[in-house]
Amino acid sequence: MRIAVDVMGGDFAPRETVAGAVQAAREMPDTTLVLVGDRQVVADELARQDTAGLTLELAQAGDVITMAESPAAAVRAKPEASIVVATEMVKRGEVDALATVGHTGAGMVAAVLILGRIPGAKRPTVGVPILGLQPQTFFWDVGANVDCKPMHLLQFGLMGSLYVELVEGIENPTVALLTNGLEDSKGDSLTQAAFSLLAESDVNFVGNVEALNVIHGQVNVAVCDGLVGNVLLKTIESLSNLMLDLVEADVGSRLPAHVARDAFAPALGDLRQRTDYAEIGAVPLLGVQGHVVIGHGRSQAKAVKAAIHQARRAAEADLVSAITQRLAAP
Amino acid sequence: MRIAVDVMGGDFAPRETVAGAVQAAREMPDTTLVLVGDRQVVADELARQDTAGLTLELAQAGDVITMAESPAAAVRAKPEASIVVATEMVKRGEVDALATVGHTGAGMVAAVLILGRIPGAKRPTVGVPILGLQPQTFFWDVGANVDCKPMHLLQFGLMGSLYVELVEGIENPTVALLTNGLEDSKGDSLTQAAFSLLAESDVNFVGNVEALNVIHGQVNVAVCDGLVGNVLLKTIESLSNLMLDLVEADVGSRLPAHVARDAFAPALGDLRQRTDYAEIGAVPLLGVQGHVVIGHGRSQAKAVKAAIHQARRAAEADLVSAITQRLAAP
């Protein structure tokens, strides 16, 4: 198994991305990691790390796409960008998978342009798990796809269900539509039409759920339009932080100072880390002809390592072949 | 000023609704509260309270609409239901406003059927503030209106802006569209069309916001389709509780037992109450020809009192006339 790591992408690249790759390499001795980036920069970062006995390769990529750039234009204009070079390696079969924590849009555009969509896949989609909690709902789409058609939601359900089953190991996963109520009659014209498609499909469709149910992980897969999913994701991300800020200020101030410092603050810090999306493993991009995992831009070493593990698990499960077969089925 | 209180509606009626009405009556000696419900039941509850010197009237309503009932059918089938009787009193001008914490759908249907929509108002809408925090974003719609048209979002913005200005006292309130990103190009076809309408209107439109911005109260009014708003509201409601549950379990267990019991638990309880939607004042139903405030079904006395205050403030500001004039303007 060989995995490319875009070590130039992300808010904390190359320091944290290289550190995460080194940690991952230590945990997967049977896998070769290919660090894609400026050779000198990467070598300098590697020199800070203990790499004894690790199988690491370098692949030169002299450019990088920054968060401020328009993804479609940047991918076309920068053939030497690390995400472009890494995706080309997937295309040529030189690696089995790719992990990046760079610009999400650029990662998606590179995957679609270079790898292409799986035949029949209408829209590639990015999903996430709800917080880092167990039990856990994974949901698609988180923002790339707005103005979805019913068929898109069906495909998010089909592909998400395969991901959760093959990569997360959840047998016969439940799939639900995220709407404004539980009853079959709830939802808008989009979700009502998607309801019929999902009910007729072979996924384990359990009907409509509302936000409460996905927050509590009561289904394995939830699907929704990308605008709804984006509001859900960003609400979770910002509100979980805000609530912990409120606890820190309101509750912390009412504890004895030494307890606040020695016990309360560290415990709260652990919880903050546990529920931080930058610490939560990413989920592969679904619907493209390659195993590509795009993690959070704020990822530090631990999350980069998690993204590499995710890329490896997706490739091991051969998720792309499973989705290809499923979408080719009548 | 005379305000009708539907004391039979809500999960904790009539105990908490009557208690809340009594508390409100004490705080507004210039206002007559009319308690609408079964005369004997209400009299029995009042007997538990200290009502010396308070101006309270009773109005007989022998029936009630429960949460399990279909609102449209129940409003038509139960002319003696407290929400129907109370809404009829608004219609006849016997009271200036109405507060209820009963079935939201029944309150809306009664208002639309009995009071009618304000001329030009396409869809009456229910909004809420984000948590009980300051600064605070109010958002519309929270679930009654799905499959919105651009004109509906424009009207939510117009009416919400008037509410926030006249009742909450925020001068020249900012109005934003809740979408999947800040850039003007973000959003779906609905929000992009609404963007143009809002930009051409006379509200203080500041463009697109994402969930992070409304969670942090960075605009006064946010508008969105009811499915999106419902996901936002229910995510906030369930996640704020879940985060506090996690803090209680994860952090509480790492504190000395006596600190956890005597300082941590009470402080956390206060924060829980402060961020509980059942404790947060309701916002008037916008777009109907009368001042109707529909609070959370789980409201206890304090929240019932808050809903009555809200009804009074809406009537004092004559919000209905302001919206009527605004929608009649070219």
Measured CA distances, B58 to A120, B18, B40, B66 (Å): 66, 11, 10, 21
Q: Give residues with Cβ within 8 angstroms of A161, minimum separation 6.
A: A173, A175, A203, A204, A220, A221
Q: What is the pLDDT of residue B66?
A: 87
CB contact under 8 A, A255 and B275: no
Rounded Cα–Cα distance for residues B216 and B173 (Å): 16
Mode of pairing for the β-strands spanning A2-6 and A32-37: parallel
Q: Is the pLDDT of residue B12 over 70?
A: yes
Look up the ipTM and state it. 0.92
Q: What is the pLDDT of residue B176?
A: 98
Closest-CA residue of chain A to B241: A243
The tens digit of pLDDT for each residue in B203-248 reads: 999 999 999 999 999 999 999 999 999 999 999 999 999 999 999 9
Q: What is the CATH number of domain B1-121+287-330?
A: 3.40.718.10
Q: What is the pLDDT of residue A67?
A: 80
Chain A residues near residue B210 by CB distance under 8 angstroms: 230-231, 234
Asked if B29 has any chain A CB less than 8 Å from its own CB, the reply is no
Q: Give residues with Cβ within 8 angstroms of B14, minimum separation 6.
A: B7, B8, B37, B41, B42, B45
For the packed helices B265-274 and B226-246, what is the interaxial angle rounded to 10 degrees? Answer: 170
CATH superfamily of this structure's domain B122-277: Isopropylmalate Dehydrogenase (3.40.718.10)
Check if the beta carbon of residue A159 is closer than 8 Å to that of residue A127: no
DSSP state of B127: E
pLDDT > 90 in chain B, percent: 86
Q: Please count the residue pairs, one from chain A and one from chain B, whose beta carbons lie less than 8 angstroms apart.
A: 163
Kindly report the number of other CB atoms within 10 A of residue B258's CB atom.
10
Measured CA distances, A80 to A64, B31, B216, B257, B296 (Å): 8, 74, 39, 59, 57
Q: What is the pLDDT of residue A204?
A: 98
Asked if B71 has any chain A CB less than 8 Å from its own CB, the reply is no
Kindly report the number of other CB atoms within 10 A of residue A249's CB atom.
10
| Nearest by Cα to A238 from B120, B163, B215, B187 | B215
Q: Give residues with Cβ within 8 angstroms of B169, minimum separation 6.
A: none
As annotated, the residues of chain B forming the CATH 3.40.718.10 domain(s) are: 1-121+287-330, 122-277
Q: Give residues with Cβ within 8 angstroms of B47, minimum separation 6.
A: none
C-alpha count within 13 angstroms, C-beta hemisphere, residue B160: 32
CB contact under 8 A, B275 and A246: yes
The tens digit of pLDDT for each residue in B253-288 reads: 999 999 999 999 999 999 998 888 777 768 899 999
CB contact under 8 A, B146 and A256: no
Closest-CA residue of chain B to A265: B251
As annotated, the residues of chain A forming the CATH 3.40.718.10 domain(s) are: 1-121+287-330
Q: What is the signed CA dihedral for B252, B255, B259, B260, rounded to 10 degrees?
A: 10
Provide φ and ψ at B152, rounded to 5°: -65, -45
In this prediction, residues B300-324 reach a mean pLDDT of: 95
Rounded Cα–Cα distance for residues A189 and A141 (Å): 18
Q: What is the pLDDT of residue B151?
A: 97
pLDDT band at residue B132 using 50, 70 and 90 as cut-offs: low
Asked if A248 has any chain B CB less than 8 Å from its own CB, the reply is no
Could you list the mean pLDDT of each consecutive 10-residue stretch along chain A, which spans 330 residues? 97 96 96 98 96 95 90 95 98 98 93 97 91 80 93 97 95 97 91 98 97 94 96 93 94 95 96 83 91 92 94 97 92
pTM of the model: 0.92
Q: What is the pLDDT of residue A257?
A: 95
For residue A6, the cross-strand partners are A36, A100
* E-assigned strand segments in A113-158: 127-129, 138-140
